[in-house]
């Protein structure tokens, strides 16, 4: 989850002022935690609350049902405190609705906020079920679900120690053809808020990276919806590389007390070393 927050904050100042190069300061004037970070934290909070409420480990249906309910509750409650954080028009209406219903979206918001589903799951099957539970409350279009599930799959596989080639093969066979290179699209890739034109590009930015920081730089360098591309890339890169301490500390300084409290609870709930058990 931290990787998504870092990617979001780094990309926030480039969303409408693209920087098509890997040469830039990671954090600078204009950086802030956008809706990508805030909704990611809302989902993390929903997962923690659902885990606390559903005591039986075998009550999978009950857990996913509660997770969907709590996702709505937490995204609305937290989102209403940050009305100017960058919500899209339809999602803004959903956040402030008295009767929030799915609106058949396939926007990339489905993928940018889903990382807690992958970081909290104990199997790929569970990760996908969590992904769908937190996504379908808004993005119930098949392409919205697909984008969230592809991101979740890449993160979970990275957590479990899969190689980049294995991750790329899985994504290409089940979700999106990754038949391009970052250098080939850097000059022509344009702003696009759909899953189908954001998720594969973000995954490829991870696959071509050599470190966590390099993955974020790849994501920024292609332009487009920079904060969201980098959030998706960062969430996968965190699972594969971990996050350097200096980058972590600098990013967390952008979170206010309430957001930081959710993050700290999440670290206790799903610590980064959890991935080690999956890799054994």
pLDDT of amino acid 189: 97
Burial (0-12, 13-18, 19+ Cβ within 10 Å), 11? buried
Assigned token pair, 162: 């899969």
In this prediction, residue 243 carries a pLDDT of 97
Task: Give the tens place of pLDDT for each residue, 254-278.
Answer: 999 999 999 999 999 998 744 444 5
First CA to last CA across the chain, in angstroms? 22
Q: Is residue 172 part of a domain?
A: yes
Average pLDDT of 8-23?
Answer: 97
Counts for the chain of helices (H) and strands (E), in that order: 16, 0
* In a domain? residue 144: yes
Rounded Cα distance between 12 and 25, Å, is 13
Q: Which domain holds residue 114?
A: 2-275
- Residue 217: inside a domain: yes
* Residue 14 forms part of a structural domain: yes
- Looking at the structure of the chain, the number of domains it has is 1
In this structure, is residue 150 part of a structural domain? yes
Q: Angle between the 35-53 and 60-79 helix axes, to the nearest 10 degrees?
A: 140
The whole-number pLDDT of residue 275 equals 40
Give the tens place of pLDDT for each residue, 212-246: 999 999 999 999 999 999 999 999 999 999 999 99
Q: What is the CATH classification number for the domain harbouring 54?
A: 1.10.4080.10
Residue 280 forms part of a structural domain: no
pLDDT digits (tens, 9 = 90+) for 66-125: 999 999 999 999 999 999 999 999 999 999 999 999 999 999 999 999 999 999 999 999
The pLDDT score that the predictor gives to residue 277 is: 42
Residue 129 confidence (pLDDT) above 70: yes
- Tell me, what's the pLDDT at 278? 53
């Amino acid at each position: 989850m931290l990787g998504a927050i870092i990617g979001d904050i780094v990309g926030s100042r480039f969303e409408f002022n693209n920087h098509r190069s890997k040469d830039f300061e990671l954090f600078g004037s204009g950086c802030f935690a956008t809706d990508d970070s805030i909704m990611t934290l809302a989902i993390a909070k929903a997962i923690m609350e659902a885990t606390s409420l559903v005591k039986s480990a075998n009550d999978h249906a009950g857990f996913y049902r509660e997770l969907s309910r709590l996702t709505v509750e937490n995204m609305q409650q937290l989102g209403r405190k940050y009305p100017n954080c960058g919500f899209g028009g339809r999602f803004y209406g959903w956040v402030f609705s008295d009767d929030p219903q799915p609106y058949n979206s396939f926007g990339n918001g489905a993928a940018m906020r889903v990382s807690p589903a992958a970081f909290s799951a104990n199997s790929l099957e569970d990760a996908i079920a969590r992904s769908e539970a937190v996504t379908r409350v808004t993005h119930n279009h098949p392409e919205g679900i697909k984008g969230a599930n592809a991101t979740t799959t890449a993160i979970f596989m990275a957590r479990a120690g899969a190689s980049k080639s294995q991750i790329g093969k899985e994504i290409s066979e089940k979700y999106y053809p990754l038949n391009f290179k970052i250098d080939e699209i850097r000059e022509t890739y344009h702003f696009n808020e759909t899953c189908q034109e954001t998720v594969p590009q973000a995954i490829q930015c991870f696959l071509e990276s050599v470190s966590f920081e390099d993955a974020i730089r790849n994501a920024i360098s292609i332009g487009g919806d920079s904060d969201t591309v980098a959030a998706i890339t960062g969430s996968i890169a965190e699972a594969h590389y971990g996050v350097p301490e200096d980058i972590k500390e600098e990013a967390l300084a952008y979170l206010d007390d309430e957001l930081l409290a959710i993050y700290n609870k999440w670290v206790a709930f799903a610590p980064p070393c959890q991935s080690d058990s999956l890799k054994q």
